[in-house]
Every structure is written in structure tokens, then in C-alpha cells.
A = this chain, B = another copy of it.
Amino acid sequence: MADLTTTVAGVRWRNPLWLASGIWGESGESLRGAYEAGAGAVITKSIGSGPRPGYPNPTVEPLGPVGMLNALGLPNPGIEEYPREIEKAVSAGVPVIGSIFGGSANEFTALARAMSRTGVRAIELNLSCPHAEGFGTEVGSDPHLVERIVRRVRAATTLPVIAKLTPNTSDPGALARAAERGGANAVSAINTVRGLAIEPELRRPVLAHGIGGLSGPAIKPVGLACVWQIYEAIDLPIVGIGGISTATDVVEYLLAGASAVEIGTAVAQDGIEVFGTVAKALSDWMDRHGVGELAELIGAAHPGRRAKRGSPRRTRSVASHRRRRVSVVRGRSPPAML
């Protein structure tokens, strides 16, 4: 039987399949239910300073095999109320990761402090909120802000800090380096991809908020590319997210460089049983392929890593990696353009 445990941010987790933030994340019973269904860890809904009802409906638009769009608007009961829900899960022994969001480094810091007192094992920073000081873009698309927020939070808590990065950027590696500089213990990627649906008959966006976030199968390639680029850019463990619903999806993320993954939208399609099913299928896959532990897979699709298979984490510089990848994968000199 393959060993599914994984170490991320200094913590050992029973398996690498985590419940993504925003899914089954409002009630303590649900968090517990997801863990009982087989998740390796459960991440709370992103919690802010006060209660927020979120946007009016429609907040979700199913897009069939492509996935779905949502703009829930970060509904949450607020950091004062929510610890009651966490308590229900934590008291049952569930490893909970607390997700927080804010509009400034100060807000994140205060939230992290409060969250640290709830019994969670780690804190995930949801950096995908509009930048209060900027113009429409997300807090998390500005490397300076990312670094600042992570550094402040890092100083405010003794818990491991996971920075959750956005795919809506030209350079995921730069954001990851910012998080690493700020002192993050791990990064997770990706949050949803900016998207829109319009109802032609009604001549208006479907979601009440207009622009929303795309998740599900459509974004699996996007998440994989981000994880790949982040793995080439930093040395922290990576939690891969986006469009995961099967064991081979998980293996792809592991090979791209993830040490664990989060599953969100697949819960809509396959129910919470997806955790148990995928855990079993992953273990079977590993047995069938003679893989004893996850470390053999993590990052193994990177040419540098392929060359020294078995080592838990490469230490060579990014640049030497890049060179090596090109020559190993392509076997000829690299063309200059995409």
C-alpha cells in the first residue's frame, strides 16, 4: 500500500487531497464531513473582519463540462462568529486550515492573529481581493503587496502560512518569489480565473456581480502551468489547485511540482465522496506504478528533477533548471518564441 502522507509547510498530513476554500466551508459539520469523506485537510471558507452576505444571486453559473463560474462575493460570518464553526471540526480532530481575506496588510494581520487562536493547523491567505489602493486588479497580482502582506502575517502568527496565488497575472513565478521573500511556508495556486457569462436572450451578465471566477476542468491546464512555473521559481512546497477530479489529475499536479492539491468544483459533480474515491485511486495508481511515496512524484516531470529522481527537493538554482529543462525535454537548441 502506497504511503499517501505528505509534508507541507512543516506539517505532515494524512494525504495530499485537501478541501479547497469556499467549498463545504461555512459550517463545522461540513468541514468535518469532508474530512470524514477522506480529505487530508480541510480549508475554511475565506473569513474576513465582519459578516458579509456576499453578492445577490445568481452567484453561480454552471458551464457543463467546462466547469463553472462563481461570484459569491466572499460571504462569511466574520472572524468573531466563525471560530464556533471551526471548533466543531477541530474538537473532532479534523486538521483545519483557516483561510482569511482582507483589503490591506493590516486587515490580514488582525485576521491571522484571531485565526491563530481557533485551533487551525495553518493559515491560507486568499490574496484574490480587489486592491483597495489600486484600480480593479487583485491585491494578489502585485508582488510588492503580496510580499508585504505575507511578511506581516508571518510576524503575527506562529502557524504555517500558505499564500494562495492568483492565475490572473503575467508572471506567477514573480508572485511566488514575492511570497517566498515574505516568509511564506508554502504557496497554493490557483484561485479562479477571471471569467464572464452573458445571457444572450436577456442581454446581461448572468452573475449578479458581472465578472466572476472560472473553476473546474477548464482551468486544469492553467493551474498546472502555474504550478510548473512556481516550482521553477521557488523552493517552497506548492499546493496545486484547479480542475482536479481524478487520481491522474492529482498525479499530473504532483509531477508538475505540487506536494498536495486542493479539490473544489469536483465536489459539485461527484459529491464529497470524491475525496475517498480519489484517495483510493491514487493509492492504487501508485501501487500499480511501483511508487511507494509521493516524494517520488513531486516535481518529477521537471527535467532537472527527473535527472535526480528520488531526492525530495531539488536545490539547484532556477536558472540552471531552466537550461536543463530545455535541453532534456527538447533535445535541441531552444527556439526563441512561443
Contact = CB atoms under 8 A, between A and B. Distances in A.
Nearest to A63: B221
B204 A224 contact: no
Nearest to A142: B170
Contact of A224 (B137, B197, B329): B197
Contacts of A203: 255, 297, 300-301, 306
Interface string A217-232: 1111110111011000
Give the number of copies in the complex. Answer: 2
A96 interface: no
A252 to B, nearest CB: 4
Contact of A136 (B67, B101, B173, B193): B173
Given A170-B168, A209-B330, A222-B193, A200 B73 contact: no
B74 A338 contact: yes
A101 B56 CA distance: 44
A69 interface: yes
A335 B54 contact: yes
A233 to B, nearest CB: 9
A306 B330 CA distance: 52
Contacts of A103: 336-337
Contacts of A200: 248, 251-252, 255, 285
Given A217-B218, A218-B66, A205 B170 contact: no
Given A73-B335, A209-B330, 10 more contacts: A53-B335, A166-B170, A168-B169, A168-B170, A193-B193, A200-B251, A200-B255, A205-B329, A210-B329, A211-B338
29 contacts: A48-B337, A52-B337, A54-B335, A55-B330, A55-B335, A63-B221, A65-B217, A66-B217, A66-B220, A73-B338, A74-B337, A74-B338, A128-B338, A129-B337, A166-B170, A168-B169, A168-B170, A169-B170, A194-B222, A194-B225, A195-B222, A196-B225, A198-B252, A203-B255, A205-B228, A209-B335, A209-B338, A210-B228, A211-B338
Interface of A: 48, 52-56, 63-67, 69, 71, 73-74, 101, 103, 128-130, 135-138, 141-142, 166, 168-171, 173-174, 193-198, 200, 203-205, 208-214, 217-222, 224-226, 228-229, 248, 251-252, 255-256, 285, 297, 300-301, 306, 325, 329-330, 332, 335-338
